[in-house]
């Protein structure tokens, strides 16, 4: 074998190995990563019945990819290092040599892919609906770049709206209706279920169920514009009693607390923020931004970008465009006095 042929084959082998390493090592290592550091990596673990079948499918695919990687690498190694005195180029296809390999390989791949297609269809069917009736129905609407969450109730006075943080009772199926207000988004809480598109003008459905109490991170997985990466959400699974308590608190309108600062802050909010934001119990009824009635109850703000501390709130209000460039909220120009009053008012939104 002459040097250039050898280098060419080695190049092919190295490129091949590189891409397949990326393809196989990434999901496998991701599956073992720490939950805290990389919560979305848990797509190869399941925390509820809606994600169990897809998780099994995921592992089968990973195992298959690893097997294909190993087999092809072995064959490739043999092709590179095997000496064939009668055929220096060794090209498959020359004088029909090696065509057998192509027929067999294609045949095996076709069978495996066909089996996988059937397995995928079975999985999709299994997760299509829950075996029990949903304990709760909510509508999640994707906006550039945050989530509106509506809790439905047969009695309309008991339904309420929130944003970016979904609470569910543990161990019970929850039906999630998915809509979009602008472009195509996709709802994905990998530990609880697969992804479902949110398409303008259409209502898609998915169900989620958490086996254990805890916080499950979600993310928009359909590229929807500049801040797509910062369109996160959290699903908080609570015991039935905790969930009921949370729900009752969310149903209440904001509590009217009065002091000079708070009144000034509220007036400022009505003047400057109410065109977009709503706070139930006030004249602020804006519908194109997160409902802030119970802002303080949320762990994160700006769709998972920042923790909800008073400092981050001030930072967000004055520098939204630096923190999340392109977000549909302007950086608000406010004096220190105005900010003080506004913060005092926002801190009452328990």
Distance CA 227, CA 324 (A): 7
* Partner interacting with residue 273 (select from ligand HEC, Cu ion, none; CB below 5-8 Å by kind): ligand HEC
Pick from 146, 147, 151, 216 the residue near ligand HEC by CB under 6 A: 146
Is-contact 165 298, C-beta < 8 A?
A: yes
Whether 338 contacts 268, CB under 8 Å: yes
327 binds ligand HEC (CB under 6 A): yes
Residue 296 contacts ligand HEC per CB under 6 A: no
Strand bridging mode 146-151 / 136-143: antiparallel
Q: How far is the CB of 75 from Cu ion (least distance, A)?
A: 42
Nearest CA among 301, 303, 293 for reference residue 251: 293
- Reported as half-sphere exposure (CB side, CA atoms, 13 A), residue 260 has a value of 1
What's 43's DSSP letter? G
233 lines the binding site for ligand HEC (CB under 6 A)? no
| Partner that binds at residue 220, options Cu ion, ligand HEC, none, CB closer than 5 to 8 Å by kind | Cu ion
Residue 172's CB is within 10 A of a number of other CB atoms, namely 18
Using CB under 6 A as the binding rule, whether residue 127 contacts ligand HEC is answered as: no
- Bridge partners (DSSP) of residue 146 are 143
Closest alpha carbon to 190 in 225, 149, 224, 234: 234
Residues of this chain, 230-259, that bind Cu ion according to CB under 5 A: 231
The number of residues that bind Cu ion (CB under 5 A) is: 4
Give 210 or 289: the residue with its C-beta nearer to ligand HEC.
289
Instruction: Name beta bridge partners: 217.
Output: 234
Residues 6+ apart with CB under 8 A from 241: none
Q: Which is nearer to Cu ion, 220 or 317 (CB)?
A: 220
CA distance 150 to 137: 9
Contacts of 292 (CB under 8 A, 6+ apart): 277, 278, 279, 284, 346, 349
Pick the piece of the chain touching ligand HEC (CB under 6 A) from 10-18, 198-206, 258-266, 322-330: 322-330
Residue 277 touches ligand HEC, criterion: CB under 6 A: yes
What does 176 interact with, of Cu ion, ligand HEC, none (CB < 5 to 8 A by kind)? none
Smallest distance from Cu ion to CB 226, Å: 11
| Closer residue to ligand HEC in complex, CB, 171/340 | 340
- Kindly report the backbone phi and psi dihedral angles of residue 171, in degrees, each rounded to the nearest multiple of 5, phi listed first: 75, 10
Is 298 among the residues that bind ligand HEC (CB under 6 A)? yes
Region binding ligand HEC by CB under 6 A among candidate stretches 21-29, 114-122, 185-193, 301-309:
301-309
* Residue 210 binding Cu ion, by CB under 5 A: no
Within 164-203, the residues that bind Cu ion by CB under 5 A are 185
Which span sits near ligand HEC by CB under 6 A: 4-12, 105-113, 210-218, 270-278? Answer: 270-278
Q: How far is the CB of 225 from Cu ion (least distance, A)?
A: 7
Q: Which residues pair with 307 in a beta bridge?
A: 300
Residue (of 305, 306, 332) closest to 321 by Cα position:
332
Q: Which of 295, 323, 341, 344 binds ligand HEC (CB under 6 A)?
A: 295
CA atoms within 13 A on the CB side of 138: 26
- Closer Cβ to ligand HEC, 105 or 275, answer by number: 275
224 sits near Cu ion (criterion: CB under 5 A): yes
Answer yes or no whether residue 348 interacts with ligand HEC by CB under 6 A.
Answer: no
Q: Residue 138 region, left (φ>0) first, then alpha (ψ -120 to 50), else beta?
A: beta
Residue 313 lies near ligand HEC (rule: CB under 6 A): yes
Residues contributing to the site for ligand HEC (CB under 6 A): 145-146, 163-164, 227, 269, 272-273, 275-277, 289-290, 292, 295, 298, 301-303, 313, 316-317, 324, 327-330, 332, 342
């Amino acid at each position: 074998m002459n040097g250039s042929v050898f280098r060419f084959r080695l190049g092919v082998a190295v490129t091949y190995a590189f891409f397949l390493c990326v393809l196989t090592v990434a999901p496998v290592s991701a599956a073992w990563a720490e939950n805290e550091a990389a919560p979305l990596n848990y797509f190869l673990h399941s925390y509820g019945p809606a994600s169990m079948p897809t998780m099994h499918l995921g592992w089968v695919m990973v195992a298959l990819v690893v097997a294909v990687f190993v087999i092809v690498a072995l064959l490739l190694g043999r092709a590179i290092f095997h000496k064939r005195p009668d055929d220096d180029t060794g090209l498959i296809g020359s004088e029909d040599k090696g065509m057998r390999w192509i027929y067999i390989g294609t045949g095996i791949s076709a069978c495996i892919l066909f089996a996988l297609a059937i397995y995928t269809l079975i999985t999709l069917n299994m997760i299509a609906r829950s075996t029990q009736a949903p304990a709760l129905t909510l509508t999640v609407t994707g906006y550039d770049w945050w989530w509106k969450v509506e809790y439905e109730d047969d009695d309309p006075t008991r339904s309420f709206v929130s944003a970016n943080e979904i609470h569910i009772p543990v161990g019970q199926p929850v039906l999630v209706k998915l809509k979009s207000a602008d472009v195509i988004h996709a709802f994905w809480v990998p530990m609880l279920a697969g992804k479902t598109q949110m398409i303008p003008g259409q209502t898609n459905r998915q169900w989620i169920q958490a086996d254990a109490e805890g916080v499950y991170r979600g993310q928009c997985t359909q590229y929807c514009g500049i801040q797509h990466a910062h369109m996160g959400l959290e699903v908080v699974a609570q015991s039935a009693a905790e969930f009921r308590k949370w729900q009752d608190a969310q149903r209440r309108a904001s509590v009217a607390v009065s002091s000079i600062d708070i009144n000034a802050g509220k007036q400022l909010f009505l003047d400057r923020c109410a065109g977009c934001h709503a706070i139930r119990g006030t004249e602020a009824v804006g519908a194109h931004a997160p409902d802030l009635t119970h802002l303080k109850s949320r762990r994160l703000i700006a769709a998972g970008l920042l923790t909800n501390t008073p400092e981050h709130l001030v930072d967000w209000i004055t520098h939204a465009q630096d923190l999340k460039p392109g977000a549909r909220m302007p950086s608000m120009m406010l004096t220190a006095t105005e900010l003080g009053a506004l913060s005092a008012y926002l801190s009452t939104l328990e």
